Each structure stands twice: as structure tokens, then as C-alpha cells.
């Protein structure tokens, strides 16, 4: 049975880590310091080729784990 028959897809880049792991790395990769804004949801969707829902879920996890704080407005 091929990957397509099993419903699997090969994604570009070959990064097999979870979206959460890749988004956590954004802090280090972009050299973000405490108090600096992180990339927008739209930028993260583009960067990781995922839906806004997926990005929002991981951002909520990161906030729950104390890695991010939301500043509305």
C-alpha cells in the first residue's frame, strides 16, 4: 500500500517535529527577547503552511505553558 493509498502526504522540508515544537523554535530562531512581539498568526500560517486554527491552538498551548503572553490591542 502506498502513502497515497493510506491517506498520507509527504510535506516539503521533511521536518517531522510537531507544529508546537517548530513554533517553540521560532523564539530562538528569530532571537526574540522578553517583551518583543512574536510573528502574527498570518505569518506563522505562511511560515509553516498550516491553518489559522492550528496556529491558534499552539499559541494557546504556549500561553498556557507561560511561554507567551497575549497583549490585545
Q: Between helices 19-29 and 41-48, what is the axis angle to 10°?
A: 110
Per-residue pLDDT at 54: 94
CA 26/CA 39 separation, integer angstroms: 9
Q: What angle do CA 45, 17, 39 make, to 5 degrees?
A: 30
pLDDT tens profile 15-27: 778 999 999 898 8
Query: 3-12 long-range contacts, Cβ below 8 Å, gap at least 24?
Result: 11/49, 12/49
pLDDT tens profile 52-63: 999 999 999 999
Amino acid at each position: 500500500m502506498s502513502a497515497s493509498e493510506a491517506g498520507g502526504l509527504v510535506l516539503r522540508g521533511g521536518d517531522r517535529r510537531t507544529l508546537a515544537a517548530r513554533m517553540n523554535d521560532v523564539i530562538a530562531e528569530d532571537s526574540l527577547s522578553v517583551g518583543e512581539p512574536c510573528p502574527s498568526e498570518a505569518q506563522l500560517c505562511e511560515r509553516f503552511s498550516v491553518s489559522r486554527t492550528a496556529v491558534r491552538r499552539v499559541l494557546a498551548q504556549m500561553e498556557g505553558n507561560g511561554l507567551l503572553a497575549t497583549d490585545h490591542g
